[in-house]
């Protein structure tokens, strides 16, 4: 948590968040802070600004929420430590230290997914809206609630249409639709389109395809229908890459529970004598992925060198300053 939360000048979006917290700190009134970020994340920015610790406290709180969700969900998988290893190369190292708002939304989502089987439909809808309070793109998860309902297909289609219209309305009225279009859609030039999106999406799509092709693993608290639907969505995200690679990469963040669940279940699907070897190979593959990303990815420059606020001279800390 401290490794992620107290990072200093790490992540490709570092300067964007400095601008964001500066805008929140200079907002004329408290209610004006919600112009600069989704409501719950705007409050985190406000807390950081008011505390005097700036973006560092905001990041620390966000990291706590994200890690709490990751650990809670990992405990529900077949092998929790292997699930954490699966999350390390990209979800923790890259997403949590770059896409702060969305990683927090993913963390909250995982926290709810850990207890999804205990939640009724209204509570699941509320859970999605709480996630959207950190990043509006989490509204996409409403589709899985509708699909999982025991209703005629016509009603499911109608329900999905209503939720889609509601999501579009929220994005349009909040102003985030234009922002997301600029950040992940038409605002991206061909050069800026995420060249690594295929790898980002593959990290969730490949485990999803593994689950869909080779059938069921041993049951856990993760509802099979939700796992199947998320796996289908993860696989279909591959089709978005040619048209909006950056958006595809961002959407794939929400499919990481599938990757964690499937990878943690692989040893249980092989001969018991081979399980130690399989665990070792999976761990080695995850470490290799992280090493390869840090060495060769275009965006790795934002993570190297790694600096932590605990070990940086106080006068170097970027607290409430514009980049």
pLDDT digits (tens, 9 = 90+) for 168-200: 555 555 555 444 444 444 444 444 345 567 888
- Number of folded domains in the chain? 1
Domain assignment of residue 18, given as a range: 2-316
Q: Is residue 201 part of a domain?
A: yes
In 3-state terms, what secondary structure has residue 188? coil
Residue whose entry in the numeric block shows the structure tokens 């699941």:
124
Residue 222 per-residue DSSP state? S
Q: Can you say how many angstroms the Cα of residue 72 is from the centroid of all Cα atoms in its chain?
A: 15
Through-space distance between the first and last CA atoms of the chain, rounded to whole angstroms? 25
Burial of 291 (0-12, 13-18, 19+ CB in 10 A): exposed
Q: What are phi and psi of 308, to 5 degrees?
A: -125, 140
Which residues are CB-contacts of 26 (< 8 A; sequence separation ≥ 6)?
none
Q: Is residue 322 part of a domain?
A: no
Residue 249 token pair? 């990469």
Residue 193 token pair? 């389109």
> Which residue, among 121, 155, 252, 158, has the nearest Cα to 198 in the 3D structure?
252
Q: Is residue 294 part of a domain?
A: yes
Q: Is residue 323 part of a domain?
A: no
Q: Is residue 15 part of a domain?
A: yes
Q: Can you say how many angstroms the Cα of residue 74 is from the centroid of all Cα atoms in its chain?
A: 15
Q: How many alpha carbons lie under 13 Å from residue 10 in its C-beta half-sphere?
A: 23
Q: Is residue 135 part of a domain?
A: yes
pLDDT at 163: 62
Q: Is residue 120 part of a domain?
A: yes
Q: Is residue 321 part of a domain?
A: no
Which residues, given as ranges, of the chain have pLDDT below 70? 151, 153, 156-157, 159-196, 215-222, 323
Q: What are phi and psi of 4, to 5 degrees?
A: -80, -45
């Amino acid at each position: 948590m401290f490794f992620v939360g107290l990072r200093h000048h790490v992540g490709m979006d570092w300067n964007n968040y400095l601008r964001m917290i500066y805008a929140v700190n200079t907002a004329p009134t408290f209610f004006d802070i919600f112009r600069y970020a989704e409501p719950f994340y705007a409050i985190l920015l406000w807390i950081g600004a008011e505390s005097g610790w700036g973006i560092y406290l905001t990041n620390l709180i966000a990291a706590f929420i994200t890690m709490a969700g990751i650990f809670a969900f990992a405990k529900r998988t077949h092998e929790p430590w292997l699930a954490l290893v699966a999350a390390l190369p990209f979800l923790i190292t890259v997403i949590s230290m770059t896409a702060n708002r969305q990683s927090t939304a993913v963390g909250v989502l995982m926290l709810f997914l850990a207890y999804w089987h205990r939640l009724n439909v209204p509570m699941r809808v509320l859970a999605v809206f709480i996630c959207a309070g950190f990043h509006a793109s989490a509204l996409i998860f409403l589709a899985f609630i509708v699909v999982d309902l025991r209703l005629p297909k016509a009603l499911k289609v109608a329900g999905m249409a209503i939720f889609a219209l509601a999501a579009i309305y929220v994005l349009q009225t909040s102003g985030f639709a234009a922002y997301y279009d600029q950040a992940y859609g038409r605002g991206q030039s061909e050069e800026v389109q995420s060249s690594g999106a295929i790898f980002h999406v593959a990290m969730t799509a490949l485990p999803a395809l593994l689950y869909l092709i080779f059938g069921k693993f041993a049951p856990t608290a993760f509802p099979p229908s939700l796992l199947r639907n998320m796996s289908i969505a993860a696989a279909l995200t591959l089709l978005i890459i040619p048209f909006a690679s950056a958006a595809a990469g961002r959407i794939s963040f929400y499919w990481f529970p599938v990757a964690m669940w499937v990878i943690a279940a692989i040893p249980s699907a092989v001969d018991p004598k081979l399980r130690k070897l399989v665990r070792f190979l999976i761990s080695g593959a995850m470490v290799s992925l992280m090493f390869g990303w840090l060495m060769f990815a275009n965006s790795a420059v934002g993570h190297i060198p790694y600096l932590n606020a605990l070990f940086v001279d106080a006068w170097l800390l970027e607290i409430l300053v514009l980049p």
